[in-house]
Structures are given as structure tokens and as C-alpha cells.
Chains A and B, each alone.
Chain A
């Protein structure tokens, strides 16, 4: 069974600072995809970043980057130059073979002015 663990229920960061959200997962699959989703109060699921397991290079999207450690099954999200609009719930997610997504419990991030 695939499981996703987010061990930080809540995090806070000062505006313009950098914060890292942790995620670990467990799978016996070799080819899979990992995601970070942002869910603001509107509850839309907004894709932040995606990583293919077969790619060694860490994905980056502007201020968002990941540290993908396949052997350790770790997939952390780094947000640089945090902005007030980054305040939201962040979910780490896993999928393989076009199956459904399995989500972590989420981390509530608050960016403080």
C-alpha cells in the first residue's frame, strides 16, 4: 500500500523568508509521480509542483522547489521569498500507473507579515 506522511500539521514563516515543508512516502513502485498541492480557504486544489520519480533533477517552479530523495523516499517543498498569498494548506500527494492520488494529512502554512 502507498502511504504519504506529512509530519508538520502547522508551520509559520515570516514574509520574504524561506520555509521547507516535509513529506515522506512509502511504496514498492519504481515509476511514480509526486505532487505538492496548495489548498487556500476557497478549497480549490492548486498544483504547485510535480516530480517524476525517474528524474533525478529536482523540480522547480519559480519560488517553489523540491528536494527529492528517492532512496530515502522523501519529497520536501521549499518556498523561497514567502508571500502572504502563500498562506494555505499544503498537501503532498503520490500516484502511479494513472491510479488515484494518495494524499498526506496536510500542513497548514501561515505567512506572517
Chain B
């Protein structure tokens, strides 16, 4: 069964709204979670690294005020896309790991902004 649960799997919303995506580790405590974005026909690109209890580290070119990441517990990280616009439409995937667990990926969230 899945060890990382990502929710929701699909979101369609209007431009200007904020969208929250959850990533949960089910069988282990994830000290680190990663958020990736995948545009159509492209590879996965890291957006940010999230360590429990500390601020996320963002990759160059990723706006931290637009993509808010919270990793308040060892089993949950959230990504909030604030004031979403059509260009934010993409596939967002999280992964989680711990010191004795390799990275496990969630099933992804397909975000469509109208």
C-alpha cells in the first residue's frame, strides 16, 4: 500500500484563489519532504525542501511567498499555492523520507486554474 498519501488528486479552481495540497507519510515519520512540479511532457523539477519544524528551502526561481510550505509535524507537509493563476496549472508531487527510509512519492495533484 501507499506509504505517502497526497490529497487532493485533482483540483480545478478559478484564478485568484488559493489551493492547499497535503502530503502525509503513513507508515513512518518523515523528517524531510520534497515538493516537485511537473509541466506537461517535462521532467520533475524540485520546488522546495521541507524539514520538520523549520522553514522550507526553495529552489532558485520558486517564489516562496506564492508557494507556502508548512511542515508542522513529522507526518504532514502542506503546499499552498496562493492567488493561483493559469500559469500555475501543473502536476505537483511530494515525496517523503526519513533517516532510515528512502524517498517515497505521493500520487501527485493535478492543478488546473481557470
Contact = CB atoms under 8 A, between A and B. Distances in A.
Nearest to A4: B43
Interface string B73-114: 000000000000000000101010101001101011010000
Interface residues of B, number: 20
A42 B108 CA distance: 9
Interface stretch (A11-19, A21-29, A66-74, A95-103): A95-103
Contact of B43 (A33, A43, A50, A103): A103
B49 A45 contact: no
Given A91-B43, A100-B34, A106-B43, A43 B108 contact: yes
Most chain A beta carbons < 10 A, residue from B34, B44, B46, B108: B44
A105 interface: yes
B99 A91 contact: no
B43 A100 contact: no
Contacts of B44: 45, 91, 101, 103
Interface in A56-106: 91, 95, 98-106
Contacts of A30: none
B46 A100 contact: yes
Given A43-B108, A102-B46, A104-B43, 12 more contacts: A43-B38, A43-B110, A44-B107, A44-B108, A91-B43, A99-B49, A100-B46, A101-B34, A101-B46, A101-B103, A103-B43, A105-B43
Interface of A: 33, 42-45, 50, 91, 95, 98-106
Nearest to A95: B103
Question: 8 closest A-B pairs (Cβ-Cβ)?
Answer: A45-B105, A103-B43, A100-B34, A103-B44, A100-B46, A105-B43, A43-B108, A106-B43
